[in-house]
Structure 1
C-alpha cells in the first residue's frame, strides 16, 4: 500500500513497525489522559497531608490545566519544527520527572510547581503523540483501526483514572497517583526509541512565530483561568470578567497576526476548513458535557451513595466498556463505509439519551436500573462519535501542519474540560443553593431531615446541570450533521494514486 497523506511522496511503503509504534503512542496518551482525573480522587488526602487551604486546593488541578491548555499550540508547533519523535520522547521524560517531583512533594509550592511542569511537558507530548499517529497511519482502513484504539483511550482514559486513583489512594498513598506515571513514561519512551520512525519529509522547518506563541499562550491561559475563577468566585467577579475580556482581545489579536505572518503558529487553513472546524467544535462541546458529568457522578457516588474511592472508580466501568465498544467495534468498523457525520451525529444523540436518563437521578436511585444503562449509552455514543471526530480533525492535513492540527484537537478537549467543569459546576451549585433555600422552611429542624434535604438539594443541582449537558450534546450532534459534509474515505490505490481520494478533506491553499 502506498503512502496517501496529502503532500507525501507517492509509492512510499508504510513503516512495518507502525502497529508496534501504536502501542507506545497509545500508552503515552493513556498516561496524559489518566493524569487529568487520577489526582481528583486523591485531592482530600493531598490537601490534608500537605496542609493546603480550601482556597488553594483548586490550584492542584488548575496549575496543570493552565500550563497544558495554554501551551498546546506551541507544543504542537515545536513538534512540527523539532520532529515529532524527539518531541514525544522529550515530553515523556519531562512528564516522568515532573511526576517524580510531585510524588515527592513536601509542601504546597513543590506540588503546584510539579503540576505546572506536568502541564508543560504534557503540552509537548499530547500533540506529538497524535501527529505521530497521523503521519504513521495513512491507509484508510488501518487509520480507522488506529484511531479507534486512540479514541477509546482518549475518551475512556479519564474514567480509568478514577478507578486507578481510587485504588492507589485507598490502598497505597496519594503520592502513587504521581509515581504511577513513571513506569508508563519509561516504557513508552523506550519503545518509541526502538520502533517509531518519523518520516523526515513531514517536518515543518519554517521559523517560529514568536508573536503567535505569546498571544495564543496568554489568550488560552486567560480563558482557562477565567473559567476556573468563575467556578470558585462566580461569573460576575471582577477578575473573572477581566480574564474573559483579556482572553477575547488576545485571541482576536492572535487571529489577526496569524492571517498576516508568512509562517504562522496556527495556519488558518487548519481551522477554517469546514469539516475540520466542525470536528474541533463538536468535539470540544461534547467534552464540556463529559467532564462535568465525571465530576457530578464522582461526588454523587461518594457523598450521596457513600461509595468508597475504589467502588466509585469501578462504578464508571460501564462507561469505559461503552467507550471501547463504540470506538473499536462501531466507529472503526464503519468509518470507511459511511460518511463521518453519520457516525458523529448519531453518536452524540445516543450519548445525549444516556445523559437524559441521568436527569432522573435522586437520592434513592438504583445503580443497576439507571446509572449502569445510562453510562453504557453515554460511553457507546461518545466512543462512536469521538473516533471519527479525532480522525477527521487531522485527516487531509498537510504533513508539516500535523503537529499543530493535533494540538488543536487537544486544545478543544482541554479548553472544553475547563469550560465544562466551571460552567456545569457553577450551574449545579446555584441550583443546589436555590433548592435548599426554597425547602428549608418546610423541613423539621432535626439532623436527619436536614441531612436528607442537603442530599436532595445536591442531587437537584446535579440534575439541573445535567439537563444543560444534554442540550450541549444535542448542539454537538447538530454541528456534526450540518458542518461536516465530507464523504467516505477511500482506500488508496497502489502507486499512490489514491492519495487524493483518501484525503477527501480539502486543505485550503496558502
Structure 2
C-alpha cells in the first residue's frame, strides 16, 4: 500500500504539460533537420531514416512496460527517471560526433519518454479525479501534446537554419530542467508501506518485442514495401508475439495489462478512437506539409509558420471541449469533434497544384484543428473513466500506445496509398493527386471514429476515477 503526500494540482498540471509538450515536439522536430544531419555526420541514406524511426520504435515499444512500471514503482518516481534519461540522451545527441551516437541517443530519448509519458497522464487522472476540473486539466494537457507536434516542424526549421542542427536536440534541456524543477513544488510522492507485486516479466518481454517488431515492420515499408518478404516476416512475428502476450496476460496473477480492463467500454472505445484519430491526424499533418513544400514550393521555416493556425485551433478546440464535456459524457465532444475533423480533412482534399496557403490550407486547417481539439481531451478522459487509481498508469500507457501505433501505422499505410496514386510521376499535379487521395482516407478514419464514439455509454456525467486512497483500501498491497 502507498502512503501519499498531498499534491498541488497546479504543479502536477504544469509538470505534466511541459513534459508532454517536449515529448511530442521530439516526434516532429528532427524531420526538417535531417539533410543538415546527414551532411554533418556522414549518414548513409538508409541509416538517416532511423534517426526518426528509432525514437518511435523505443517510445511505442516500451509504453506498456512504462505504464505498468509507474503503477508498481510509483508515478512520480518513473516520471522523474524518464525525464532524466530523456534529458541526458538529448544532451548526448546534441554532442554526437558519429551516426551511431545520434541513433543511440534517439533510442534513449524514446525509452525515457516511454517511462515518463504514461506517468504524466496517470498523475493528472489521479490528481484531478472528476468533473469540469478533470476535463479542463486533460484539455490543457492534450493541447500541449498537439502544440508540441504542430510546433515541431517550425522549431526544427528555425533552429536548423539559424542555430544549427544540434539545437534540435539541445532545445529539450531547458524544458526538462523546468519540469524537474516543478516536481518538488507539488507533485506528490508515494511511499510504499506494504508488499509490492512482481513485474510480469514474460508479458513485458512479449509486449515490448511484439510492438517493437510491429513498428519496425511498418516504418520500413517506405523503403522495402508492404509486399516484401521481410515485411511479411516482421509483421507475422509481431502478430505471433502479441497473441502469445494476450495468452500470458490471461493466466498470470499480476499481468502487465489486465485484459479485463478492455472490457470497460470507455477504455476500449477510447483506445479505438485515439488509434483512428492519430492515424488520420499524423497522416494529414504529413501530407499537408509535403503539399506546401513540394507542390506550393514553400520553404521549411515558412511551412512551419503555416501550421501556427492549426496549433491555435487545437488549443481553442480543447477549451471548447471543457465546456461541452465538463459535466456531460465525453461522447458529447467526441462525436462532433470527429465529424468536424472529418469535414476539415474533406475540405483539404480540394487542394490544387495552382493553389496557395490562403485558398487551400488556412480554412481547412482551422476546421480540422478545432475538431481534433474537441477530440483530444475527452478521449483521454474516456480512456481513464472508471479505472482504479492502481491501474491509472496501465490505462495511460495503453492510450499512449494506441496513439503511437495509430500514427505509425496510419502514416505508413496512407503513404503507400499516395505513392500508388502518384506512381513514378514527380510532377506537382501527380503529387497533389496522391496527397488528396490520402487526405480522403484520413477523413474517412475520423468518420469511423465518430461512429465508435456514438457506441460509448450514454451518461450525463463521466464516472469519476476512484482516488488512490480508496483503491488502496479495497486492495491492500496494490500500488496507486
Give me the whole-angstrom Cα distance separating, in 1, the residues matched to 2:116 and 2:309.
Answer: 29
Larger Rg over CA atoms? 1
2:399 is equivalent to residue 432 of structure 1:
no
Aligned to 2:86: 95
Secondary structure of the 1:265 match is: coil
Q: 1:48 aligns with which of 39, 50, 69?
A: 39
Give deviations 1:13-35, integer Å, cap 9, x for gaps: x9462112211111011010100
Change in 2 beyond 3 A, CA 1:271/1:457? same
After the TM superposition, which parts of structure 1 deviate over 6 Å for at least 4 consecutive aligned residues? 201-204
Aligned to 1:404: 394
Give me the whole-angstrom Cα distance separating, in 2, the residues matched to 1:454 and 1:393.
Answer: 44
Query: How many residues align structurally?
Result: 467
2:464 is equivalent to residue 462 of structure 1:
no
Aligned to 2:121: 130
Give me the whole-angstrom Cα distance separating, in 2, the residues matched to 1:45 and 1:117.
Answer: 22
Give me the whole-angstrom Cα distance separating, in 2, the residues matched to 1:318 and 1:409.
Answer: 27
Q: 2:444 aligns with which of 471, 489, 498?
A: 471
Aligned to 1:324: 315
More displaced stretch, 297-306 vs 40-49: 297-306
Give me the whole-angstrom Cα distance separating, in 1, the residues matched to 2:352 and 2:48.
Answer: 29
Give me the whole-angstrom Cα distance separating, in 2, the residues matched to 1:331 and 1:341.
Answer: 10
Deviation at 1:312, TM superposition (A): 0.8
2:135 is equivalent to residue 144 of structure 1:
yes
Deviation at 1:304, TM superposition (A): 2.0
Aligned to 1:489: 461
Deviation at 1:355, TM superposition (A): 0.3
Give me the whole-angstrom Cα distance separating, in 1, the residues matched to 2:245 and 2:251.
Answer: 10
Give me the whole-angstrom Cα distance separating, in 2, the residues matched to 1:365 and 1:279.
Answer: 37
Q: 2:276 aligns with which of 267, 285, 289?
A: 285
Give me the whole-angstrom Cα distance separating, in 2, the residues matched to 1:249 and 1:383.
Answer: 36
2:350 is equivalent to residue 360 of structure 1:
yes
Q: 2:327 aligns with which of 327, 337, 343?
A: 337
Change in 2 beyond 3 A, CA 1:258/1:167? same
Deviation at 1:488, TM superposition (A): 2.9
Give me the whole-angstrom Cα distance separating, in 2, the residues matched to 1:67 and 1:378.
Answer: 29
Q: TM-score, normalised by structure 1?
A: 0.88
| RMSD, matched Cα | 2.2
Aligned to 2:12: 21
Give me the whole-angstrom Cα distance separating, in 1, the residues matched to 2:64 and 2:142.
Answer: 20
Give me the whole-angstrom Cα distance separating, in 1, the residues matched to 2:376 and 2:193.
Answer: 26
Question: 1:368-407, aligned counterparts within 5 Å?
Answer: 368-407=358-397
Q: Unaligned 5+ residue runs, structure 1?
A: 1-6, 437-452, 501-510
Question: Is residue 82–residue 203 contact of structure 1 (8 Å, CA) maintained in 2?
Answer: no
Question: 1:67-82, aligned counterparts within 5 Å?
Answer: 67-82=58-73
Give deviations 1:349-377, integer Å, cap 9, x for gaps: 10011000111112111211231110111
Deviation at 1:429, TM superposition (A): 1.4
Give me the whole-angstrom Cα distance separating, in 2, the residues matched to 1:480 and 1:78.
Answer: 30
Give me the whole-angstrom Cα distance separating, in 2, the residues matched to 1:280 and 1:353.
Answer: 22
Deviation at 1:136, TM superposition (A): 1.1
Aligned to 1:3: none
Change in 2 beyond 3 A, CA 1:380/1:202? farther
Q: 2:338 aligns with which of 344, 348, 353?
A: 348
Give me the whole-angstrom Cα distance separating, in 1, the residues matched to 2:380 and 2:85.
Answer: 26
Give deviations 1:85-131, integer Å, cap 9, x for gaps: 11111111110100011111111111111111111111001001111
